[in-house]
Amino acid sequence: MESSEILANVEKTAAWIKKRAAGFKPHTAIIAGSGLGNSLPQLADKVSIPYADIPGFPRTTVKGHAGELVFGRLGGHDVVMMRGRFHYYEGRPLNFIAFPIRVLAALGVRNLLLTAAVGSLKPSIKPGDMVLLKDHINLMGSNPLMGNYDPAFGEMFPDMNEPYDKALRREAVALAKKFKVRAVEGVYAAVTGPSYETPAEVRMYRMMGGDIAGMSVVPETITARQLKIRVAGLCWVSNFTSGISKTALSHEEVLELGAKVSDKMRALLEGLLKSKVI
């Protein structure tokens, strides 16, 4: 696809959304991960748009992802939330993951709060804990910026020295203490999925410096940083990874625990939206 066509598709989708969500100028976006549909902050004046209605947005195929774009207001800010994300393991090209992030940027988004379910690579990081991202390791074997560049999206070779914004992370740490949420800072090891990791892979990821493993977040972060969007990664630990866990892993357990931690995630998200760093 030519760069002019890529940009045209982004602008077409953004223009369509602006008409459906007239009056909203979101400066901050939230992407809700598996099991976190109920973590949606209490927004005023909500407008919901199913992905199936949005040009260029396919339906989500993962259980626990509602598949809708929600606009609203909180703390004096217009906010847009993706209730469900798109994944490499669903069979889409990795560079497609860049599309919704670029659409968000075209809507005016400058802050991106990413949430996700992750597996712990360490016994000290337990299911139910929150992990606030300070860095990541891309083990997906590709990059979302490949083959779909346009100068309008930023530099072809974006700097990744600080993928996750320090000010947002410091505020999230302070909020976790305030709300008595057990949280640590950590490094996200991004893998393709959809199979869970083997015990040998878990040992390797841990030796490489990973604290948690997951199948999303990183392509969205890379795309956002090219666009100069500030990113905060707020992950919740749904399970121990293989070799640490004594039981077989299942997505159903992820969804069950997600329902229990949604209140914690909502408190952190609402706290960030009302803070001075946004």
Catalytic residues: 34, 65, 87, 89-90, 117, 215-216, 239, 251
Cβ pair 211, 217 in contact under 8 A = no
The residue among 62, 116, 70, 68 whose CA lies nearest residue 92 is 62
Q: How far apart are CA 237 and CA 254, in angstroms?
A: 9
> Per residue in 27-46, is it b (16+ CB within 10 Å) or e — as a string?
ebbbbbbbbbbbbbbebeee
Q: How far apart are CA 154 and CA 102, in angstroms?
A: 11
Provide the 10 A C-beta neighbour count for residue 167: 13
The residue among 163, 131, 124, 86 whose CA lies nearest residue 244 is 124
Phi/psi for 157 (5° steps) reads -120, 75
CA–chain centroid gap for 88, Å, is 13
Q: Is the peptide bond before 194 cis (omega within 30 degrees of 0)?
A: yes
Bridge-partner residues for 77, per DSSP?
74
Q: How far apart are CA 26 and CA 105, in angstroms?
A: 9
The residue among 228, 229, 249, 230 whose CA lies nearest residue 239 is 249
Q: How far apart are CA 249 and CA 94, in angstroms?
A: 25
The residue among 92, 104, 95 whose CA lies nearest residue 222 is 95
